[in-house]
Structure 1
């Protein structure tokens, strides 16, 4: 028997527990943690925007502030969407566990374990990237002071600190470490939530791919079982094909339920992500061409990498779902169906007719998650960046 939570979602559970988003055991203390963490994120965003109160609003200032704020808004949107859909997340866990419990064939169990292990590998890679980027982000604000302490020189106020926290609100020199703690808390909560939620949703979709692969395996198994025209064998083949169609329908319903639960928030996330990527590409170009501060250049580069990875992984997962669904019908087409009886051939024909309609994770009938959409979003970001950069020259 496969225990989904302990075998395939142990990394995810750690991340989600850290930010209070694990959908089980929601005590009053966890609910307080949710409110506190979300309040920290929102208040930090508001602090970023207060710079427009006293400072003169120029295009450069707007781009400079929004390039940071939009990433924080993405953190808040993702955190809140998962918090609001805790029941849907539990339901997805239960559906997945129920489907795994129904698997009796050793090969089918091996398939779902293979895809579960692949999901764990993706989670491990994301954890490694998360640790590396977090360490760099944490060192940026304190690096000048560390160098000043080691080299015994007067350290200037870090420009990254000035950009992340407006100086006129609080005296940064007097309350440096308090502000630093507040900034670290907001960034760490948002980044941990984004990685934990991303790993969970990606793992859900990888398990859905495993279900599609099991459907293909059952079709292959049904046809290879055919040896003669005896009624008993024919009935067994009917059952095997019915089992294949059953798990295929479950995979589609599972994927659609996941899409339906998070469709609004992820449409907004993709839109904000494209704008954020555009602004950070502009900030990178400006700092690189005008010999800007290295710390700010590195900060905007890291943000661009985060957005780029988010857009790529989301669309890659959607492309995987489409490809695995198509492979089910490809299997039905390539197996030796012509050796089966006429009744079995008719069943295969129904499958092939259904395969004429491509299944994809479609948002509102407008766009579908795919590598094609990722290329389009990247191209759009580069186009917007080019227009903004040319207008500012």
Structure 2
């Protein structure tokens, strides 16, 4: 579980790095002083830099989608198994009388919650890096650029209105909000299981 989680985090950090590179390239493309007259050579340089940034962004999104599509079934099973394990472990914690067994179950539940938190935190980090690209596009001085470059930037701004999220297992949007929902849902399942087992 630790090895698989570490590998997934490394892949997700790679995607974050690709988004950061795209953001840096957009900043660099617009770093030319637009107040001065821009010659044809400088226009070509700006075009190439913006195209390169867009290409890196597209590759990062495609890589994340292919990666998630490859593990869609595994993620669904992992989410379901995690919810079942957390709920049943909470029921076991209530029913134990031994301190040694209680400590073991508390460690187990802490590891499960930490695993849920870290996986959702990493996915939230990817979403934040993607949004940072469009914040960078908004913050550069695109409005003083020549008209052709402004049109390119406006296409980027328009694309930034669409939200990008990692969807795990085909049904679950990975984010910090979803992590809180998962934890709350596991406690709800626990209360149902506990109320049915005591009757």
TM over 0.5, shorter chain: yes
Deviation at 1:364, TM superposition (A): 5.5
Q: Any idea what the Cα deviations from partners look like across 1:298-327, whole Å, max 9, x if unmatched?
A: 121121112111111111111111111111
Q: Any idea what the Cα deviations from partners look like across 1:217-272, whole Å, max 9, x if unmatched?
A: 11111111244321111110000000100111111112112111111111111111
* Contact 1:226-1:233 within 8 A present in 2 as well: no
* Contact 2:72-2:170 within 8 A present in 1 as well: no
**Which one of 128, 133, 152 corresponds to residue 323 of structure 1?**
128
Deviation at 1:366, TM superposition (A): 2.4
Alignment match, 1:213:
20
**Which one of 277, 282, 285 corresponds to residue 86 of structure 2?**
277
**Which one of 64, 70, 73 corresponds to residue 261 of structure 1?**
70
Larger radius of gyration: 1
* Contact 1:218-1:241 within 8 A present in 2 as well: yes
2:148 matched to 1:343? Answer: yes
1:1-393 pair list within 5 angstroms = 194-227=1-34, 228-287=37-96, 292-363=97-168, 365-393=170-198
* Contact 2:89-2:109 within 8 A present in 1 as well: yes
Deviation at 1:286, TM superposition (A): 2.5
Question: What SS is found at the alignment partner of 1:312?
Answer: helix
What stretches of structure 1 of length at least 5 have no aligned partner? 1-193
Question: CA RMSD, aligned part only?
Answer: 1.3
Runs of 4+ in structure 1 displaced over 6 angstroms?
A: none
TM-score, normalising length from structure 1? 0.48
Task: Name the CA distance, whole Å, in 2 between partners of 1:325 and 1:370.
Answer: 13
Task: Name the CA distance, whole Å, in 2 between partners of 1:358 and 1:286.
Answer: 44
Q: Any idea what the Cα deviations from partners look like across 1:192-241, whole Å, max 9, x if unmatched?
A: xx111111110110111011011111111111124432111111000000
TM-score, normalising length from structure 2? 0.93
Task: Name the CA distance, whole Å, in 2 between partners of 1:379 and 1:247.
Answer: 37
Question: What SS is found at the alignment partner of 2:164?
Answer: coil
Higher relative contact order (CA 8 A, sep 6+): 2
Question: What SS is found at the alignment partner of 2:162?
Answer: coil
Task: Name the CA distance, whole Å, in 2 between partners of 1:363 and 1:266.
Answer: 6
Question: What SS is found at the alignment partner of 2:30?
Answer: helix
Task: Name the CA distance, whole Å, in 1 between partners of 2:193 and 2:171.
Answer: 26
Question: What SS is found at the alignment partner of 1:257?
Answer: helix
